[in-house]
């Protein structure tokens, strides 16, 4: 028990830092494993062990010290070329790291750490040491070693007497240290005050990390002599949080002030207030930064996990990490750890194939998992991709049907992406065997829940035979965001700027531009049809009364983006852009999907923050419910969400439709800007070349139209943009469709009733492949699978 | 279920019934009347109030207990509680005194009272002149949609 030590806090600090050191040591060992000649990695591990040894002796933790000492010796011998580095040593080092971790954990739980058995390990290390010493050329070194040993052992003897006053012990040690002027003292201070030096070079960047662990100030004796290169300080987390709150309040008060000042005419007052505004913004930005931590803090453990896991199941897998210093609010860092861990373990366990399988499919034996993080439009995106098996759409489809989550027909009608997303459904797992690693069927849905709980989204893409990519998007900051204040009736609402794509005002006649397709209002925005949602419907409160004079009536639409989709939100009034402080809403209101929180706006009023994703989710399902009510006379009504379809007129004036999910945008293109390139039609489009595919050509129908401009649907074909030329673009509809006939002809997935008329739902992927616009030796999915 | 923590209760009235909550949980009492309504919130949520920069959800206890609306709002008060690291306000008709109770006067909830107030009590203290019903805070704060 830690009764021995008067100053328990010093021990706590030792433990916190030791854990960090050991993590750094693991990194070093694995770097070293990749390249046994990597001197830097070796040095890094050596330094960690050295520090651990020194500090643990300072606390009288003989057991820790003993192991650290032996391990350090082995490395020292390698450094002096007395011992040949090999895989066995790497394994021993990893074992040492694990044992040390165990000891530290026991210590932090207040248990006896001496029970951690490392006799066998120490024996092996001793053997290597003795071998190495035999090879040691200069006897002088041996003496130096002995002297060092003595120095480290002496302070320990002082300590075995529990009765002694701690302060006296400290002083004694310090005297010893002073006398020797060896690393002893520096060990403790450097250990306590400056960790960064011991951490191995990561990604060749030396990023100073602010340490904000909970730790009371270090005792004066030790901190007095902190190293001059120390540029970090430790402060309590609660202090940072307090600062955050105060800054939030400051921003609010500044906003209020600005509102009042803007009405005055005093120039000096206005400009002073502006200056205040700038300083406040900068203050806020910097305080926010203190809350940000690099993703690396969560990722650090993964390489080791992947290594150990892959070895245990006989696979060769490498984990690469890109963008480790991408920063994330500290409150979110913890929340993503579990989801990430699960996805990675999944990739290792199920995604990546065994070395033989990989060889047989022409891949490298070593599988690769890539962790990537970057910032994008106010969010942090984390991608986990593997080059493994990819998802088997048929297996998943079968599972969906077997679990009764959807009927066979529905599943056949779903886009690939929709099918893949079913793996997030509770109780879903296609793993043939439930291993103790993953596959229990409780993982993926928990992953999604956890990520959504912090306001993020998770999605995935997969190519059978090539691999899978998971994408997690998390909001960047929590507290203060730029937003637009809008009104419905007499209430204020707020929309985060990051969700806004544009603003539209319709006056008088223009209001007719909102068209109505089967009960869903839509608006044509630069060629795209976007659904319209009325804020009044969302909040179920009446709108402002219509103007008497039709000419004067105005309609305001806020174009809102949710993931890759857009919709228009009709509001009564658009007020202004403001920086608002996001306040937690209270657990009683958390379940209301349309709100993301509440805030206090400039004039001191409370305004609810609209959750655009929640609105989209709710309103889309509402619309499809409406549609299904109308269609209830049909037999065999499908359950499940309606999908969006782009309706077009194909060759021969045929009614056709394309799954809207894969449609990137719609364009009208001048015929004369189309060029011919090696017998294909292409277009210079947005800085690159866009390949064009004519539906008429595919279906072998004469292109009769000689209009100057063509209607092109920009389609997402496996990540590439392809232009599909159609006769006319009709509508975008959201419907649950009923499949009437499957595969009626090449290029058509099935026939279905869309808007009460028979429509051909195109299999655009097949159309693209059938147009043979890629190299001849590109195999289609089926051909590859058959191989 | 015995109430064994603090023995001081903050009391208030709903109609003629005297109710109490542990004084330990009570942060303050304020008269604030400006509730910002939250559309689509549970019916017993009267709205949110701005308490010196903190947004607090205010629950109308009358609504929560399915009682009629208050006829005399002149003495209505907000009791600001701290529960599970967040603050919540309970709107009551009238504030009573802080009372120290004697555990020997504790009794379980009689059936008729339990029915009338929908099981939102944990127990009763017999005071000199009236009965003090102890509010089941946890249940009170579980709002249905």
Highest mean pLDDT among A8-12, A431-435, A556-560, B83-87: A556-560
Residue A647 near residue A759, CB atoms below 8 Å: yes
CA distance, residue B107 to nearest chain A CA (Å): 31
Smallest Cβ distance to B48: which of A252, A541, A606?
Answer: A606
Nearest to A541 among B39, B55, B143 (CB): B39
Residue A156 CA: distances (Å) to CA of A150, A169, A219, A549: 10, 10, 20, 92
How much is the mean pLDDT over chain A?
Answer: 76
User: Which range among A136-150, A495-509, A738-752, A769-783 shows the weakest confidence by mean pLDDT?
Assistant: A136-150
Name which of A574-583, A624-633, B9-18 the model is least confident about. A624-633
Which chain B residues touch A if contact means CB-CB below 8 Å? 36-42, 45, 48, 50, 53-57, 59, 84, 86, 88, 141, 143, 145
Residue of A331, A580, A606 to mutate when probing chain B, most B C-beta within 10 A: A606
Which among B40, B53, B57 has CB closest to A588?
A: B57
Chain B, nearest residue to A599 by Cα: B55
Does the pLDDT of residue A223 top 50, yes or no? no
Q: What is the mean pLDDT of residues A680-687?
A: 83
pLDDT top residue among A638 and A228: A228
Could you say which residues of chain B have pLDDT below 50? 1-5, 145
CA distance A285 to chain B (A): 20
Asked if residue A410 lies in contact with residue A640, where contact means CB atoms within 8 angstroms, the answer is yes
Residues 6+ apart with CB under 8 A from A72: A46, A49, A50, A53
- Quote the CA–CA distance of B145 and B143 in Å, as a whole number: 7
Residue A177 has pLDDT above 60, yes or no: no
Q: Which of A129-143, A149-163, A738-752 has the lowest mean pLDDT?
A: A149-163
Could you tell me if A32 and A46 are in contact, meaning their C-beta atoms sit under 8 angstroms apart? no
pLDDT at A137: 61
Q: Considering only alpha carbons, which residue of chain B is nearest residue A609?
A: B38
Number of C-alpha atoms within 13 angstroms, CB side, residue A445? 9
Write out the DSSP string of A327-379.
EEEHHHHHHHHHHHHHHHHHIIIIISPPHHHHHHTT--SSEEEEEEEEEETTE
Alpha helices, DSSP H only, in chain B? 61-64, 111-116, 137-141
Taking the CA atoms of residue A165, residue A167, residue A173 and residue A174 in that order, the dihedral angle to the nearest 10 degrees is: -160
B40:A592 CB<8 A: yes
A419-455 as b/e: b if 16+ CB within 10 A: bbbbbbbeebbbeeeeeebbbebebbbebbebbeebb
Choose among A583, A589, A605: nearest Cβ to B41: A589
Q: What are the Cα distances from residue B64, in Å, to A13, A767, B90, B114?
A: 49, 61, 10, 14
pLDDT digits (tens, 9 = 90+) for A460-471: 888 888 899 998
Rounded (5°) CA angle A592-A595-A597: 115
The pTM assigned to this predicted structure is: 0.47
Contact (CB<8Å) A539/B40: yes
* Closest CA relative to residue B9, chosen from B85, B139, B122: B122
pLDDT digits (tens, 9 = 90+) for A653-673: 888 999 887 888 888 888 888
| Those residues with Cβ within 8 angstroms of residue A49's Cβ, 6 or more apart along the chain or in another chain | A25, A68, A69, A71, A72, A75, A96
């Amino acid at each position: 028990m830690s009764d021995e030590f008067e100053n328990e806090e010093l021990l706590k600090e030792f433990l916190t830092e030791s854990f960090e050191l050991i993590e750094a040591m693991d990194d070093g060992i694995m770097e070293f494993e990749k390249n046994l000649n990597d001197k830097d990695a070796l040095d890094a591990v050596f330094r960690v062990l050295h520090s651990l040894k020194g500090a643990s002796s300072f606390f009288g933790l003989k057991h820790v010290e003993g192991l650290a000492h032996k391990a350090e010796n082995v490395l020292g011998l390698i450094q002096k070329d007395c011992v040949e580095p090999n895989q066995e040593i790497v394994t021993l080092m990893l074992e040492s790291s694990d044992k040390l971790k165990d000891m530290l954990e026991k210590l932090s739980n207040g248990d006896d750490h001496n029970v951690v058995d490392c006799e066998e390990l120490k024996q092996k290390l001793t053997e290597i040491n003795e071998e190495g010493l035999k090879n040691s050329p200069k006897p002088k070194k041996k003496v130096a070693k002995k002297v060092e040993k003595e120095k480290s052992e002496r302070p320990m003897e002082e300590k075995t007497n529990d009765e002694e006053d701690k302060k006296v012990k400290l002083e004694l040690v310090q005297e010893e240290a002073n006398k020797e002027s060896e690393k002893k003292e520096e060990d403790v201070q450097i250990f306590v005050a400056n960790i960064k030096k011991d951490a191995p070079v990561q990604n060749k960047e030396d990023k100073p990390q602010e340490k904000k662990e909970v730790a009371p100030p270090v005792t004066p004796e030790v901190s007095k002599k902190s190293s001059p290169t120390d540029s970090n300080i430790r402060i309590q987390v609660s202090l940072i949080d307090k600062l955050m709150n105060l800054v939030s309040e400051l921003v609010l008060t500044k906003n209020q002030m600005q509102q009042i000042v803007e009405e005055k005419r005093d120039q000096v007052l206005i400009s002073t207030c502006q200056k205040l505004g700038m300083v406040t913004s900068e203050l806020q930005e910097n305080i926010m930064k203190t809350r940000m931590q690099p993703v690396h803090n969560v990722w650090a453990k993964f390489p080791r996990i992947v290594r150990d896991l892959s070895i245990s199941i006989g696979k060769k897998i490498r984990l690469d990490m890109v963008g480790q210093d991408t920063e994330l609010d500290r409150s979110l860092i913890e929340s993503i750890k579990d989801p990430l861990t699960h996805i990675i373990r999944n990739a290792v366990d199920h995604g990546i194939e065994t070395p033989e399988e990989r060889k047989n499919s022409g891949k490298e034996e070593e599988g690769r998992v890539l962790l990537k993080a970057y910032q994008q439009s106010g969010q942090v995106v984390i991608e986990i991709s593997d080059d493994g098996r990819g998802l088997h759409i048929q297996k998943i489809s079968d599972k969906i049907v077997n679990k009764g989550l959807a009927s066979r027909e529905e599943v056949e009608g779903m886009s690939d992406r929709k099918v893949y997303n079913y793996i997030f459904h509770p109780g879903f797992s296609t793993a043939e065997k439930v291993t103790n690693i993953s596959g229990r069927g409780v993982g993926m849905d928990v992953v999604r829940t956890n990520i959504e709980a912090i306001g993020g989204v998770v999605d995935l893409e997969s190519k059978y035979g090539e691999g899978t990519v998971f994408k997690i998007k998390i909001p960047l900051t929590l507290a203060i965001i730029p937003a637009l204040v809008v009104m419905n009736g007499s209430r204020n609402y707020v929309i985060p700027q990051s969700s806004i794509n544009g603003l539209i005002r319709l006056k008088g006649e223009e209001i007719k531009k909102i068209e109505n397709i089967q009960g869903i209002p839509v608006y044509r925005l630069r060629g795209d049809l976007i659904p319209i949602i009325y804020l009044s419907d969302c909040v179920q409160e009446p709108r402002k009364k219509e103007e008497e004079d039709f000419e004067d009536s105005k309609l305001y639409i806020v174009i809102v983006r949710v993931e890759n989709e857009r919709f228009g939100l009709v509001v009564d009034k658009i007020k202004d852009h403001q920086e608002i402080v996001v306040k937690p809403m209270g657990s009683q209101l958390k379940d209301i999907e349309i709100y993301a929180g509440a805030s206090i706006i400039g004039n001191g009023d409370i305004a609810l923050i609209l959750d655009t994703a929640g609105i989209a989710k709710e309103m889309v399902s509402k619309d499809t419910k409406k549609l299904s009510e109308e269609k209830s006379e049909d037999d065999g009504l499908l359950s499940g969400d309606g999908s969006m379809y782009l309706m077009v007129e194909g060759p021969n004036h045929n009614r056709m439709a394309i799954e809207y999910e894969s449609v990137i945008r719609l364009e009208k293109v001048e015929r004369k800007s189309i060029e011919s390139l090696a017998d294909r039609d292409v277009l210079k489009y947005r800085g690159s070349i866009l390949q064009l595919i004519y539906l008429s050509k595919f279906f072998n129908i004469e292109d009769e139209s000689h209009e100057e401009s063509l209607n092109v649907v920009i389609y997402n074909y496996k990540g590439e943009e392809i232009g599909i030329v159609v006769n006319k673009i009709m509508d975008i509809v959201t419907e649950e469709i009923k499949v009437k006939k499957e595969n009626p002809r090449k290029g058509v997935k099935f026939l279905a009733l869309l808007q009460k008329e028979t429509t051909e739902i195109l299999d655009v992927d097949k159309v693209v492949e059938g147009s043979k616009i890629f190299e001849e030796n590109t195999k289609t999915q089926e051909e590859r699978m058959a191989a | 279920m015995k109430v064994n923590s603090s023995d001081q209760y903050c009391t208030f009235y709903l109609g003629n019934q005297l109710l109490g909550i542990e004084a330990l949980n009570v942060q303050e009492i304020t008269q604030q009347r400006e509730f910002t309504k939250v559309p689509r919130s549970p019916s017993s949520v009267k709205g949110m109030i701005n308490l010196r920069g903190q947004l607090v959800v205010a629950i109308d206890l009358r609504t929560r207990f399915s009682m009629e609306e208050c006829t005399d709002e002149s003495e209505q008060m907000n009791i600001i509680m701290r529960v599970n690291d967040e603050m919540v306000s309970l709107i009551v008709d009238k504030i009573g005194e802080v009372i120290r109770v004697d555990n020997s006067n504790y009794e379980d909830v009689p059936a008729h009272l339990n029915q009338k107030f929908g099981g939102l009590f944990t127990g009763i203290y017999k005071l000199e002149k009236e009965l003090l019903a102890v509010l089941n805070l946890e249940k009170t704060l579980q709002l249905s949609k």
